[in-house]
Structure 1
């Protein structure tokens, strides 16, 4: 796979499209310039709390892939995309199985850090907060550690290929995202209590994890 390092605006990054003439698979290793609340393709900006995002200087953007909202921070998360043409050996017409190979690559990367993980092979999990927050539910190919989600993966498919978007954190705090959403105090409290143990992070080893996953993916 071809590696491309991408920096700058998270809005510009998510506006990128899968090239119609994509010849080989590419890995887009993205380092945003500012924190952002990234909404799923089915969400609109009214999901966000405008006052909260403005006060915290957090950009609000929509991605083209599905799922709920995620919080992205330059120093606290690893974000990378894998763009796959349909003729690539990793391609699968099965939407669920299409992510398994990528989740397995993350597992191998984590293993180099001494972290044991498991791959979620079920369908899209239905949970009370799953449509709102990405890490509130599991999707195919995502990676868990001690039954908590560590790597989130979403995908968008076009005639040209597929774009898989991946994120992992140093630590999981549900209020990083919940405090940026337009929720009543009661709903925010209920969601926070429910999501506390839903996900996890890799601690101060994010840079190592980025290096390890790129080593697994890039030829």
Structure 2
């Protein structure tokens, strides 16, 4: 049964391998929400649930020091590196008011919070509120397409979102780019796939006057006051 009672946020920072952060599924207490700040200890090529692994040179990725991870959410691949993104995983019960049944609409509140924080720092941040056409590049690389709730600054994608629902809970995965490192995924594509398609993506570090830690603190505070 869905409830309108406010849940209590709990916040924690967890340092694990990229695979460990994706595989974790903490059990929530009654009327509890969890905001987990993920600090990866490795570099990883993360393939989405529907990413074609044969499209990437996985041996080269491993030679380059990347762990290859398959996650149970999202579509395209993401590059994870320590310090290069702000990575939050928000765990909520399915009867939480912040988890609409409509999967697309369920991202909109989160995108609005992120955009609000970025606008407070003087950036022209926009939230994707309508379904966007899929591209061949976006099917392979997460930051190649725009989805519901994701955020752009001056037309470049800075926020990627994904979601899993299982065992009566939802997990919203948020990756806000501090450095633009997703373009390196092109070098791992097999052959010359989609090299002529633009990848409009940006990191926030050169655009804001605050530190990564300060931005992360602002974002966590904005989310956990809901």
TM-score range, shorter chain: 0.7 to 0.9
Structure 1 range deviating more: 30-39 or 114-123 = 114-123
Structure 1 range deviating more: 171-180 or 129-138: 171-180
Deviations 1:24-46 (A, max 9, x none): 11111001001111110123644
SS in 2 for 1:67: coil
1:207 aligns with 2:213: yes
Runs of 4+ in structure 1 over 4 Å off = none
Equivalent in the alignment of 2:66: 58
Which range is displaced more, 168-177 or 128-137? 168-177
User: TM-score under structure 2 normalisation?
Assistant: 0.85
* Partner-residue secondary structure (3-state), 2:197: helix
SS class of match (1:11): helix
Residue number among 8, 11, 26 corresponding to 2:16 in the alignment: 8
List aligned pairs for 1:99-114, cutoff 5 A: 99-114=107-122
Task: Map Cα deviations across residues 32-74 of structure 1 (whole Å, 9 max, x no partner).
Answer: 0011111101236444323321222111111111220000111
How does the TM-score come out when normalised to structure 1? 0.88
Unmatched tracts of structure 2, length 5 or more: 1-8
- Structure 2 CA distance for partners of 1:18 and 1:162, relative to 1, 3 Å: farther
Q: What is the CA distance between 1:20 and its match in structure 2?
A: 7.0
The answer as to whether partners of 1:37 and 1:180 remain within 8 angstroms in 2 is: no
Aligned residues: 213
Contact 1:117 1:144 (8 Å CA) reproduced: yes
Checking the alignment, whether the CA contact within 8 Å between 1:38 and 1:63 is kept in structure 2 is yes
User: 5+ residue gaps in structure 1?
Assistant: none
Partner of residue 178, structure 2? 170
Matches of 2:220 and 2:182, distance apart in 1: 27
Q: Mean alpha-carbon deviation: is it higher for 64-73 or for 200-209?
A: 200-209
Greater relative CO (CA pairs within 8 A, separation 6+)? 1
In structure 1, distance between residues paired with 2:129 and 2:26:
26
Aligned mate of 2:197, from 180, 189, 194: 194
Shift of 1:138: 0.7
RMSD of Structure 2 on Structure 1 (CA): 2.0
How far residue 174 of structure 1 moved from its aligned partner, in angstroms, is 4.7
SS for the counterpart of 1:106 is helix
